Amino acid sequence: MLYNILKQYGRGVKYWIGTGNEADINVSELINYMIDDPEVNVLQVYIEDVKDSVSLIKAAEKSKKMKKPILALKSGRTLEGSKAASSHTGALASEDIVFDAVFSNYGIVRVDSVVELGLFSQVFELRKVPKGKKVAIISNSGGLGVMMIDKCKEMGLDLASFSNTTIQKLSEVLPVFVTPQNPIDVATQLLNDKDLLEKIMTVLKDDQNVDIILIGLGIIGQGYDVPKMIEHVSAAQKDSDAIIALTGVGCQKEILETFSRRGVPSFEDPNLCIKAVASYVKYHKDLQNEFDNDSFEPLVSSNMIQLDRKGYLNEFESKALLKQWNLPTTREILCTSAEEAKQAAETIGFPIVMKVSSKDIQHKTEIGGIMLNIQNEEQIKEAFNKIMSNATQHVNEEKIDGILVQEMILDKGFEISLGVKRDRVFGPIIMIASGGIYIEVLKDFKLLVPPLNYSKVKDAVNSLVMAPLLKGARGKKPLDLPALYETIISFSKFVTQIESIEEVDLNPVIVLEEGKGVRIVDSIIKFKE
Residue type, 308: D
pLDDT of residue 178: 86
Phi and psi at 196, nearest 5°, equal -65, -40
Integer Rg of the chain from CA: 29
Give backbone dihedrals phi and psi of 351, rounded to 5 degrees, phi first. -75, 160
DSSP secondary structure of 291-347: T--TT---SS-TT-B-----EEPPHHHHHHHHHHTT--BPPEEEESSHHHHHHHHHH
45 close to 19: Cβ distance less than 8 angstroms: no
**Interacting residues of 36 by C-beta distance below 8 A, sequence separation 6+:** 62
3-state helix, strand, coil in the chain (%, to 5): 40, 20, 40
CA angle 149/211/157 to nearest 5° reads: 35
Tell me what pLDDT residue 293 has.
Answer: 43
Burial class (CB in 10 A: 0-12, 13-18, 19+), 170: buried
Residues written for the chain: 529
What pLDDT, on a 0 to 100 scale, did the predictor assign at position 92?
40
- Contact assessment for residue 417 and residue 508, using Cβ atoms and an 8 Å cutoff: yes
Q: How would you class 156 by CB atoms within 10 Å of its CB: exposed for 0-12, middle for 13-18, buried for 19 or more?
A: exposed
The span from the CA of 192 to the CA of 195, in Å, is 9
Q: Would you list the DSSP string of 196-210?
A: HHHHHHHHHTT-TT-
Contact 246, 267 (CB under 8 A): yes
**Angstrom distance (rounded) from CA 105 to CA 89:** 25
pLDDT along the chain (529 residues), means of 10: 58 77 83 90 89 88 91 77 45 70 91 93 93 95 93 96 95 90 90 91 94 92 87 94 94 90 94 97 84 41 60 93 93 96 96 96 92 95 96 94 95 90 89 79 86 89 90 83 95 90 93 95 92
pLDDT of residue 81: 54
CA distance 241 to 260: 18
**Residue at 353: amino acid letter:** V
C-alpha triplet 440, 446, 452: angle, nearest 5°: 145
Please give the DSSP secondary-structure letter assigned to residue 479: B
Cβ contacts of 160 within 8 Å, gap of 6 or more: 134, 135, 136, 182, 207, 209, 210, 211, 212
The pLDDT value given to residue 90:
37
Q: What is the largest CA-CA distance in the chain?
A: 94
Compute the distance between CA of residue 318 and CA of residue 398 in angstroms, rounded to an integer.
Answer: 19
Q: Which of 425, 437, 374, 355 is nearest to 95 (CA)?
A: 425
What angle do helix axes 27-34 and 53-66 make, rounded to 10 degrees?
20
C-alpha torsion 199→202→204→207, nearest 10? -140
- Helix extents (H) in 125-263: 142-154, 164-173, 189-192, 196-204, 226-239, 253-261
Q: Which of 82, 101, 99 is nearest to 91 (CA)?
A: 82
DSSP state of 498: B
What's 402's DSSP letter?
A: E
List beta partners, residue 214: 137, 245
Taking Cα atoms as reference points, which of 169, 188, 189 lies closest to residue 180? 169
Count Cα neighbours of 232 within 13 Å in the Cβ-side half-sphere: 18
pLDDT value at position 415?
92
Strands (E), 210-319: 212-218, 243-249, 266-267, 311-312
Q: Which helix (DSSP H) or strand (DSSP E) does residue 485 occupy? A: helix 481-497
pTM reported for the whole predicted model = 0.80
Pairing label, strands 427-434, 518-520 = unpaired
Which element (helix H / strand E) includes 379? Answer: helix 377-391
CB 64 within 8 A of CB 107: yes
Helix axes 53-66, 96-106, angle to 10 degrees: 30
CB-based contact 438:444 (threshold 8 Å): yes
pLDDT of residue 386: 96
Dihedrals phi, psi of 139, to nearest 5 degrees: -145, 150
Contact in structure between 381 and 359 (CB atoms under 8 Å): no
Q: Give CA separation, 517 vs 494, 506, 513, in Å.
A: 19, 16, 7
